[in-house]
Amino acid sequence: MHHKAHQGSNYVQKLGYAFLALLLGAGINIAESPLAAAASKEAAIVVDANTGKTLYSSNADAQRYPASLTKMMTIYMLFDAMASGKVSKSTPIPVSAYAAAQPPTKVGFQPGQTISAEAAILSLITKSANDSATAIAEFLGGSEPRFAVMMTNKARQLGMRNTQFRNANGLPDPNQHSSARDLALLGVALREHFPQYYSYFSTRSFSYRGRRIVGHNRLLGKIQGVDGIKTGYTRASGFNLVSSVSTDGKKLVAVVMGGSSTPARDAQMAGLIAKYLPAASRRDGGNLIASRKNSKVEVAAVELPASAEAPIPVQREQAMAEQPAEVVTAYAEPAPTPSPAERILHVPAPSPKIEIGEGDVDEVDPVTTASAPSGGWMVQIASVGSSEEAKAMLSKAAAQVGGPIAALSPYTEKFQKGSTTYHRARFAGIPSAKEANTACAALKRQKFNCFAIAPQS
């Protein structure tokens, strides 16, 4: 028996090293890491999910941006509502204008459409859909900021000490943070508390309204025993991955944060699994994470729209900056839930940001900008450090304000001030001073800075 177990461990280890060899053959440099943190963003941990023992740790308690790993908690909250009988797999979740306006990656909804709870889960796990995550947040919490408070409270119940959530999808927010250890705890909790739903995390693709949606987790099917959980990326976070392994009675949860690329991150994870799985125990130590019995997930009352479920994902998705959130402090009694009409139709006012990012690959379709047009009035909303930041601001303003702004021509303009290069974010194509002032007023109502620029003679 011992000989067989040893053979099984060697087999898994060989698979891991074979995967590393493939990456090396493709030209991926993994000499600096897979097992050491070489950059300030990097953090990693490997936990024996049978015993709770930490097998490897590097910067595991340091605060890091979770990016789409945030969606692990969004899914936890939805699983909790399902296990409590408040939501079923077929429950339709409505999509508000605010949820539909989230940047890629996304499914692509129109406001008022719905998606079933099960399809929403699968869209988060495979597509890392930001619009679905926000729709879940509003459905369970009444609003995304309130849901973020619920998420943070749940994190505290689970023992996640270095985590604070500000949104449900992981789009950039400087006050949203977690740690490798906290996310490992969450990974263990998902398996322990919801074994009836945990198999969703092994989904590699699914069909939604005639369209096949393929997942980002490339280790599924490549490393024996890997059965989830989630990828994540923003420019600020780097490439993140939480992996769960279950094979031959052994269970691991491993976290890698701050990778320099998808292949480098995957190589690091493969190396960690290959090295530490042989040291894992086959003895089941029982539940390791605090019970969910104190959980109180309330589903906000909502009148569901009569329209059909979401359409096939759009071919072209407009890039936007990350969505706002008010300062979140964990508390026991959340604010009152908005009325159904407010929840479905109201779009919260944003605070403009300048960084974009989400998903695990380059799925953001940048704003197409033009040369500064001659003649006509313009409005300027920002002067920032890069053209990408300026494009993100223009995209968000057009999507958030709509109306007279969406019809205007966005463009960026580079200029030098001293030794520093800046990029103006402007809208053009405005025929009169009155219309420029009207456009500025609409932007200011949504908390965007704005001033009008007269035509140059």
Q: Is the pLDDT of residue 329 over 90?
A: no
From 33, 123, 128, 237, active-site residue: 128
Q: How many CA atoms lie within 13 A of 37 on its CB side?
A: 19
Q: Say which residue, 325 or 81, is predicted with more confidence.
A: 81
pLDDT value, residue 170 = 95
Q: Distance between CA atoms of 253 and 133, rounded to whole angstroms?
A: 23
Look at the alpha carbons of 356, 362, 365, 366 in this order and tell me if their dihedral is positive or negative: positive
Give the pLDDT band (50/70/90) at residue 250: very high
Confidence band, pLDDT 50/70/90 cuts, at residue 242 = very high
Distance CA 46, CA 56 (A): 5
Selecting among 9, 33, 71, 179, the annotated active-site residue is 71
The pLDDT score that the predictor gives to residue 291 is: 59
CA 316, 378, 346: angle at the middle one, nearest 5? Answer: 55
Does the annotation list 251 as a binding residue?
A: no
Joined together, the tokens standing for residue 97 give: 């204008």
Which of 68, 96, 143, 395 is an active site residue?
68
Q: What is the pLDDT of residue 341?
A: 30
Task: List pLDDT tens digits, range 27-73.
Answer: 333 333 333 333 468 999 999 999 999 999 999 999 999 999 999 99
List the strands of the sheet with 250-259, edge to edge: 54-58, 43-48, 250-259, 238-247, 226-234
What is the Cα 370 distance to its own chain's centre? 30
Q: Do residues 66 and 240 make contact, with C-beta atoms less than 8 angstroms apart?
A: yes
* Residue 407, pLDDT score: 73
pLDDT at 429: 77
Question: Is 339 known to be catalytic?
Answer: no
Instruction: Please confirm whether the linkage preceding 369 is cis (ω < 30° from 0).
Output: no
Instruction: Please tell me which residue, 281 or 389, carries the higher pLDDT value.
Output: 281
- The domains of the chain, with CATH numbers, are 2-294 (3.40.710.10), 377-453 (3.30.70.1070)
- pLDDT over 80 (residue 262): yes
Q: How confident is residue 359, by pLDDT bands cut at 50, 70 and 90?
A: very low
Give the residue with greater pLDDT, 260 vs 328: 260
Q: Which residues 6+ apart lie within 8 Å of 51 measured at CB? A: 281, 283, 285, 288
> In the prediction, which pLDDT does 216 show?
61
Indicate whether this model's pTM tops 0.75.
no
Mean pLDDT, the chain, as a whole number?
A: 75
pLDDT for 52 equals 92
Residue appearing with tokens 């941006």: 65
- Distances, alpha carbon 289 to alpha carbons 26, 82, 92, 312, 358, in Å: 40, 19, 31, 39, 29
Query: Bridge-partner residues for 318, per DSSP?
Result: 365
Burial 426-457, CB ≥16 within 10 A → b, else e: bbbbbeeeebbbbbbebbeebebebebbeeee
With CA atoms as reference, report the closest residue to 267 among 203, 205, 218, 204.
218
Residue 296 has pLDDT above 80, yes or no: no
What are the backbone angles phi and psi of residue 202, rounded to the nearest 5°?
Answer: -90, 5
Residue 16 three-state SS:
helix
User: How large a percentage of the chain has pLDDT more than 90?
Assistant: 40
* 68 labelled catalytic: yes
Residue 274 structure tokens = 């290959």
Q: Return the pLDDT at 298.
A: 52
Reported confidence tier of residue 286, pLDDT bands at 50, 70, 90? confident
Q: What is the mean pLDDT of residues 398-411?
A: 79
Flag whether pLDDT at 154 surpasses 50: yes
**Quick check: 307 pLDDT over 50?**
no
Angle CA 387–234–202, to nearest 5:
145
Instruction: Quote the pLDDT of residue 271.
Output: 94
Least confidently predicted of 41-45, 300-304, 305-309, 444-448 = 305-309
The whole-angstrom distance between residue 399's C-alpha and the CA centroid of its chain comes to 19
- The conformation of residue 396, written as its DSSP 8-state character, comes to H
Q: Which of 147, 176, 178, 181 is nearest to 288 (CA)?
A: 181
Confidence category of residue 441, pLDDT binned at 50, 70, 90: confident
Higher pLDDT, 84 or 364: 84
To the query of whether residue 89 is one of the catalytic residues in this protein, the response is: no
Q: What is the pLDDT of residue 120?
A: 95
For 375, phi then psi, to 5°, come to: 75, 165
Q: Tell me, what's the pLDDT at 13? A: 52
Q: What is the pLDDT of residues 168-219, one digit of tens each?
A: 999 999 999 999 999 999 999 999 999 999 999 888 776 666 667 666 666 7
Name the pairing type of β-strands 377-384 and 250-259: unpaired
Asked whether the beta carbons of 103 and 172 are under 8 A apart, the reply is: no
Residues 6+ apart with CB under 8 A from 256: 42, 43, 44, 180, 239, 240, 241, 243, 265, 268, 269, 272
